[in-house]
Amino acid sequence: MSRPAAASAQAGGGAPVQAAELEHYLHAHLPLSRAMGVSVVAVAAHCIELRAPLGPNINHHETVFGGSASALAILAAWSLLHVRLRAAGIGARLVIQRNAMEYEQPITGEFHARSCLEHPEAWRRFTAMLARRGKARIRVSAVLEYQGRRVGALAGEFVALRGAPGGDIGQRGTAVRASPERA
């Protein structure tokens, strides 16, 4: 797995987000992330990597519950967009509209989800539409990995609503509002 190189991200315009800030925000505003034992491995301008242990995510087959795998992938994709919006100085509510998940192999231990911005031109169109119309959609993917091997993938579509009350990581890493919701 190619790892994001930086522990923080700044896409331009706003303050960079540190891994510890993002993890605190997720745990404070999305209790499921805390219950799952999610930790932020890396935050970079174009990639986010999260991980979760087997223990709180185990099913009756002693593998990772599919809902936990999907949740970690969605959290990685949502976090990538959240961090990029914040770094660009754009205040918006970010919600998932739809997703599809592929489960390729059982996971029997700590697992990772990595979401990277694959098409920078899509990001430019997304932010331009958000500025122009106050609402924009973007497709984002995430890959699940176990022991360095791909074991699943998420394809998601997210919607941003400009100016709506949304989550942001406040000054000095203080979480101020929750925003991940279903559209």
Q: Does 9 have pLDDT greater than 80?
A: no
pTM of the complete model: 0.84
Q: How many domains does the chain have?
A: 1
Q: Does 21 have pLDDT greater than 90?
A: yes
79 within a domain of the structure (yes/no): yes
Evaluate whether 102 touches 153 at the Cβ level (below 8 Å): yes
**How sure is the predictor about 6, in pLDDT bands with cuts at 50, 70 and 90?**
very low
85 within a domain of the structure (yes/no): yes
- Euclidean distance between CA atoms 73 and 116, whole angstroms: 11
160 within a domain of the structure (yes/no): yes
pLDDT per residue over 105-133, tens digit each?
999 999 999 999 988 899 999 999 999 99
1 within a domain of the structure (yes/no): no
61 within a domain of the structure (yes/no): yes
3 within a domain of the structure (yes/no): no
Which pLDDT value is given to residue 13? 57
Evaluate whether 142 touches 182 at the Cβ level (below 8 Å): no
Q: Indicate which CATH number applies to the domain containing 160.
A: 3.10.129.10
Domain range for residue 114? 8-182
